[in-house]
């Protein structure tokens, strides 16, 4: 395989790490396994923090994983402008690590929810959405108990003002509304980016949305964006 | 005389042993057992571990077949899937703990069944959870229901094994006695099956995973093998506490050990804890074992030898390791952050000897714990009044409800209604191979690197079991086979969980024997051997017993997952009914929900017809003739078609088959039937195939439009049906979006 090298980090309790590696391979990238105790990213061009319950969600989802040795390398990579995608628990870890603002809290309804939903892409200005038009609707699954995005009013205003909301939960036709929001997330936010657009965190699972035999395909354009962007030297 | 506890009751009785069993232990040892030995025997000779009341009957089940690699007796059965791959699968009950502490009881049930599959060296790839509760109108039943569902999700979601199917049914008799079964499926290389007899003299016994605490002591002997007292609060310390994070690490560590060839054997520590794991390992290897209790990592100080020997602390595995592989084994455990400790070794003298501080604290023949267990031929009797109930056939009662209203009421009946509220709380997609998840006839899991897939389902109908346990047992197998066939898979093998009341009551034992007879006949006719399972007796409390509740977990194989069938109706299709409808409302959902009668006999079952239907659907799927299929079971043809319409958001217009009264034609639960739909161009090929297989076939109508039309009898909107079907369970729970009473995971 010769596609861009995409690292997937396995923490103790990571669950969707194999799924992320498989998605990278299916979409034409070169998957690289990275262990939480590693101190480098194995020469990867991009990195994915996968879903799961790292460290059993002890203390708080993502709260312990941010201290894993590999996270220093992730922070450096992000600092250099390298692409970083946090999915589900990975999003929680990025927030805990301060690479993304805000926090993920218990779903409204307090129950875990596994469901096929739709998200509306809000911006093409990230490395993971460069080939997706704003307003495009993608079918993807969610599965989490703590996915309700919250932030203080100032931070929220900044994220919204700077166009850093990447995805919002929506109807299949792209409309917003409480019935389409699976966790009560503020402003229906499903994913956000840092100010440079190279770090994205999202609760839905694009890695479970690349293979039509086992799910929807709304994750494909995200991987396509990433794999196109990386050789261009982001 | 036996030692007496402080209260005056001899200790062996407190531990659940009878006086005769105590005498038997004295005879086996040639002396009085000490406290630790007594606890070991009590655990190993419990109903849960020894199957002392059920073994004589279980022998009647067919257990052999060309694909069976490992039959009953090991932690899980193992079936050869071809192409070098094998499948380990097993089902088990955790009803007693769940009745006391629903969250932890259900969670540890999932953990236990996962370790049963792991101990064969298999990666767990799917979970299924058949559940039975009392009516949700009762707040205590809601508490149990929500707690159990939260516990299953809380555990399964955290270990990365998808929960892909299951079923939930309701019956007043399950109020004080909820039934909580869990099934796990694992995949492994066919040439790398770990067996308990793999150890040899000098091999080390390495305990991996959680520390040993006082939780779960007496779980199997006291909790699972006795009738629960009122509310069972005093038994709460016998329920173990779940730590799914530790289980996830244990799975990865054990599979890495197996992949690297470091294991001579692997045993899970479940019921009867270390005693069971060590005695089975030693007995299977024809060896003895020395145990050093001081080496066991403990969670608390001052634990007595009997507590260490029988603790049921969760998330522990016992590895049998050659001395030269010890360093590598411990390194793998350390990498996954798990404690490992050499707690003993295999010896050649046949004795299981435990030392504490150098002193021998227990010494028994390893085989005696497993092989000398008593075997009971318990008395059997037909339950009083059963003949009268069977004679009271509801089929000929006049219907009081219009068919259209009856259909909507059936779709809202808790047994039939959508269980989305339950399965959306389970991660059904992790691992990325779920081709069909919950909500269909059977789940389909793709086999990675192959076009093939496995199909999985669980089935059991307590009404049928209550009215005729033979038919209840047989129907559970037949319906499971039909469900597997309706996704296009060939039925391969069966695991079961047999949930019953007290075996000390002759009518329970009679029903048990009848159930086994029915299940055995059906398994033989359908070519699906039973590779293992579990018996759960003593499901009685507050003077109430559950009805005979046999639950079958079936494994099927699809040659090409792209040919799998779905149960969502599509427009423009010819709709066919396969099989024949008879006047059979006995034991039906219609009789209970609409007529208020749980009486008569369950539908008849001609096993040759059933096998013919299964073969027809599988072959039609293989030849890509069908667009979809759905089996007819609860609520009959009307509910089957309505469910397909709701799933596909697509209506239909059909005429009613035969010259039966319309409500009978609509709602009869005659077996060996399925509805299928297909492109009109495939009609001649299907009709020809059905004729050759001798399966009755009738074109009943076409799909399309927004309404469900049954002749002159019913004309209802699909959206209206979908609303009652989806809203029923959330409505009973008093909330729509769902706000479960989630309890702490500890």
Chain A residues with beta carbon closer than 8 angstroms to that of B431: 18-19
Which residues of B have a catalytic role annotated?
48, 94
Cβ <8 Å between A214 and B562: no
Cβ <8 Å between B245 and A214: no
Chain B residues with beta carbon closer than 8 angstroms to that of A18: 431-432
Which residues of A have a catalytic role annotated?
88, 205, 207
CB A215 within 8 A of CB A209: yes
Residues 6+ apart with CB under 8 A from B574: B677, B678, B679, B680, B683, B699, B702
Cβ <8 Å between B742 and A111: yes
Spell out where B248-339 has E strands. 265-268, 288-292, 316-321
| pLDDT level of residue B143 (50, 70, 90 thresholds) | very high
Q: Which two tokens stand for residue B403?
A: 């068919």
Chain B residues with beta carbon closer than 8 angstroms to that of A51: 430
* Residues B19, B21, B24, B26, Cα dihedral to 10°: -60
Each residue's pLDDT expressed in tens, for chain A with a length of 234 residues = 578 999 999 999 999 999 999 999 999 999 999 999 999 999 999 999 999 998 877 777 778 888 889 999 999 999 999 999 999 999 999 999 999 999 999 999 889 999 999 999 999 999 999 999 999 999 999 999 999 999 999 999 999 999 999 999 999 999 999 999 999 999 999 999 999 999 999 999 999 999 999 999 999 999 999 999 886 444
Q: How far is CA B707 from CA B653, B700, B721, in A?
A: 8, 16, 10
Tell me the average pLDDT of chain B.
93
pLDDT of residue B4: 56
Mean pLDDT of B398-416: 96
Chain A residues with beta carbon closer than 8 angstroms to that of B427: 112, 114, 143
Cβ <8 Å between A12 and B337: yes
Mean pLDDT of B643-659: 94
| pLDDT level of residue B196 (50, 70, 90 thresholds) | confident
Q: Which of A16, A115, A214 sits opposite B434 (nearest CB)?
A: A214
CA–CA separation, B165 and B434 (whole Å): 11
Report the chain B residue with the minimal C-alpha distance to residue A210: B432
Q: Which two tokens stand for residue B202?
A: 């000098």
Q: Taking the CB of residue A186, how many other CB atoms lie within 10 A of it? A: 17
CB B297 within 8 A of CB B341: yes
Domain at A5-229: CATH code: 3.40.50.880
With vertex at residue B33, the alpha carbon angle to CA B238 and CA B203, rounded to the nearest 5 degrees, is 80
CA–CA separation, B398 and A143 (whole Å): 48
Please tell me if residue B734 touches chain A, with a CB cutoff of 8 Å.
no
Q: Is B359 exposed, middle or buried (0-12, 13-18, 19+ CB in 10 A)?
A: exposed
Q: Which two tokens stand for residue B565?
A: 């069938």
Q: Which of B158, B429, B737 sits opposite A114 (nearest CB)?
A: B429
CA–CA separation, B396 and B604 (whole Å): 16
Cβ <8 Å between A13 and B158: yes
- pLDDT, greater one: B740 or B60: B60
- pLDDT, greater one: A41 or B743: A41
The phi, psi pair for B405, rounded to 5°, reads: -70, -40
Helices B35-44 and B19-29 pack at an angle, to 10 degrees, of: 120
Q: Which of A15, A23, A110 sits opposite B160 (nearest CB)?
A: A15
pLDDT of residue A225: 96
Q: Is A177 exposed, middle or buried (0-12, 13-18, 19+ CB in 10 A)?
A: exposed
Q: Which of B150, B446, B738 sits opposite A109 (nearest CB)?
A: B738
pLDDT over 70 for what percent of chain B?
A: 94
pLDDT at B548 over 70: yes
Cβ <8 Å between A111 and B425: yes
CB B740 within 8 A of CB A111: yes
CA–CA separation, B143 and B139 (whole Å): 6
Residue A9 Cα to chain centre, angstroms: 13
CB A25 within 8 A of CB A48: no
CA–CA separation, A96 and A81 (whole Å): 19
Residues 6+ apart with CB under 8 A from B301: none
Cβ <8 Å between B245 and A111: no
- Domains of chain B in start order, with CATH, are 13-44+194-373 (3.90.650.10), 59-94+105-137+145-177+418-563 (3.30.1330.10), 565-734 (3.90.650.10)
Residue-wise pLDDT for B522-533, tens only, equals: 999 999 999 999
Half-sphere exposure of B198 (CA within 13 A, CB side): 24
CB A213 within 8 A of CB A227: no
pLDDT of residue A55: 80
Report the chain B residue with the minimal C-alpha distance to residue A107: B739
Helices B244-259 and B102-118 pack at an angle, to 10 degrees, of: 0
């Amino acid at each position: 395989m010769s596609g861009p090298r995409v690292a997937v980090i396995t923490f103790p309790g990571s669950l969707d790490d194999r799924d992320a590696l498989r998605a990278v391979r299916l979409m034409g990238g070169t998957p690289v396994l990275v262990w939480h105790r590693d101190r480098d990213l194995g020469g990867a061009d991009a990195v994915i923090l996968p879903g799961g319950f790292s460290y059993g969600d002890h203390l708080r989802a993502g709260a312990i994983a941010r201290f894993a040795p590999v996270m220093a390398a992730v922070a450096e990579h992000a600092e250099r402008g390298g692409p970083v995608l946090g999915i589900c628990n990975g999003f929680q870890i990025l927030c805990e690590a301060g690479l993304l603002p805000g926090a993920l809290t218990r779903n409204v309804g307090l129950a875990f929810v596994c469901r096929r939903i739709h998200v509306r892409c809000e911006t093409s200005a990230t490395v993971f959405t460069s080939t997706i038009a704003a307003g495009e609707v993608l079918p993807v699954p969610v599965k989490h108990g703590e996915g309700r995005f919250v932030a203080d009013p100032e931070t929220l205003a900044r994220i919204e003002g700077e166009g850093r909301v990447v995805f919002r939960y929506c109807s299949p036709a792209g409309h917003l509304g409480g019935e389409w929001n699976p966790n009560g997330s503020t402003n229906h936010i499903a994913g956000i980016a840092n100010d440079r657009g190279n770090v994205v965190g999202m609760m839905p699972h694009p890695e479970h949305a690349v293979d039509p035999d086992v799910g929807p395909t709304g994750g494909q354009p995200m991987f396509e964006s990433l794999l196109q962007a990386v050789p261009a030297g982001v | 005389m036996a030692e007496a506890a402080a209260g005056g009751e001899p200790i062996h009785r407190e531990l659940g042993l009878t006086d005769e069993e105590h005498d038997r232990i004295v005879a086996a040892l040639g002396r009085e057992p000490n406290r630790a030995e007594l606890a070991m025997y009590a655990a190993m000779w419990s109903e849960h571990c020894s199957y002392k009341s059920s073994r004589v009957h279980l022998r009647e089940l067919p257990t052999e077949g060309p694909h069976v690699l490992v039959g009953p007796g090991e932690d899980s059965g193992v079936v050869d899937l071809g192409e070098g791959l094998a499948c380990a699968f097993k089902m088990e009950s955790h009803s007693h703990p769940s009745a006391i502490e629903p969250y932890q009881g259900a969670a540890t049930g999932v953990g236990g069944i996962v370790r049963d599959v792991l101990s064969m060296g298999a990666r767990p790839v799917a979970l299924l959870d058949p559940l039975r509760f009392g009516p949700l109108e009762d707040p205590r039943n809601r508490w149990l229901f929500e707690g159990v569902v939260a516990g299953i999700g809380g555990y399964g979601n955290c270990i990365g094994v998808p929960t892909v199917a299951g079923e939930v049914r309701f019956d007043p008799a399950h109020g004080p006695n909820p039934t909580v079964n869990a099934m796990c499926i694992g995949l492994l290389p066919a040439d790398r099956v770990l067996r308990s007899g793999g150890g040899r003299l000098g091999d080390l016994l390495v305990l991996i995973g959680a520390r040993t605490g006082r939780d779960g002591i007496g779980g199997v002997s006291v909790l699972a093998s006795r009738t629960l007292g009122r509310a069972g609060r005093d038994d709460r310390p016998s329920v173990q506490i779940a730590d799914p994070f530790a289980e996830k690490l244990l799975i990865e560590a054990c599979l890495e050990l197996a992949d690297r060839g470091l294991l001579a054997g692997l045993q899970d520590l479940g019921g009867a804890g270390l005693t069971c794991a060590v005695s089975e390992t030693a007995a299977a290897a024809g060896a003895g074992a020395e145990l050093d209790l001081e080496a066991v990592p403990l969670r608390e100080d001052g634990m007595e030898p009997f507590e260490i020997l029988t603790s049921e602390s969760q998330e522990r595995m016992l590895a049998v390791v050659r001395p030269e592989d010890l360093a590598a084994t411990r390194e793998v455990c350390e990498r996954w952050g798990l404690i490992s400790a050499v707690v003993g070794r295999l010896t050649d003298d046949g004795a299981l000897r435990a030392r504490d501080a150098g002193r021998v604290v227990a010494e028994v023949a390893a085989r005696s714990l497993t092989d000398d267990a008593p075997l009971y031929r318990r008395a059997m009797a037909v339950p009083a009044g059963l003949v009268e109930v069977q004679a009271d056939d509801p089929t000929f009662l006049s219907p009081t409800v219009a068919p259209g209203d009856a259909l909507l009421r059936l779709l809202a009946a808790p047994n039939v209604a959508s269980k989305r509220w339950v399965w959306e709380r389970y991660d059904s997609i992790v691992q990325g191979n779920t081709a069909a998840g919950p909500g269909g006839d059977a789940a389909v899991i793709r086999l990675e690197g192959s076009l093939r897939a496995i199909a999985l389902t669980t089935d059991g109908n307590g009404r049928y079991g209550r009215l005729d346990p033979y038919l209840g047992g047989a129907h559970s197998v037949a319906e499971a086979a039909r469900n597997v066939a309706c996704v296009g898979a060939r039925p391969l093998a069966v695991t079961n969980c047999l949930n019953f009341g007290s075996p000390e009551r002759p009518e329970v034992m009679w029903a048990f024997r009848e159930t086994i007879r029915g299940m055995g006949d059906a398994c033989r006719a359908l070519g699906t051997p039973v590779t293992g399972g579990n018996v759960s007796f003593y499901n009685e409390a507050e003077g109430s017993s559950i009805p005979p509740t046999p639950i079958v977990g079936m494994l099927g194989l699809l040659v090409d997952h792209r040919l799998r069938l779905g149960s969502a109706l599509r427009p423009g299709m010819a709709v066919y009914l396969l099989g024949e409808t008879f006047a059979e409302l006995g034991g039906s959902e219609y009789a209970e929900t609409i007529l208020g009668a749980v009486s008569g006999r369950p539908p008849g079952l001609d096993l040759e017809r059933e096998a013919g239907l299964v073969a027809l659907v599988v072959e039609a799927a293989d030849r890509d003739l069908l667009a979809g299929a759905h089996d007819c079971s609860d609520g009959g043809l009307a509910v089957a078609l309505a469910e397909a319409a709701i799933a596909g958001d697509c209506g239909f217009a059909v005429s009613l088959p035969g010259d039966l009264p319309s409500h009978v034609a609509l709602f009869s639960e005659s077996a060996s039937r399925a509805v299928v739909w297909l492109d009109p161009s495939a009609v001649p090929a299907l009709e020809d195939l059905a004729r050759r297989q001798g399966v009755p076939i009738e074109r009943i109508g076409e799909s399309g439009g927004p309404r469900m039309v049954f002749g002159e009898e019913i004309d209802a909107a699909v959206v209206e049906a979908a609303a009652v079907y989806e809203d029923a369970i959330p409505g009973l729970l008093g909330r729509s979006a769902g706000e479960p009473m989630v309890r702490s995971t500890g």
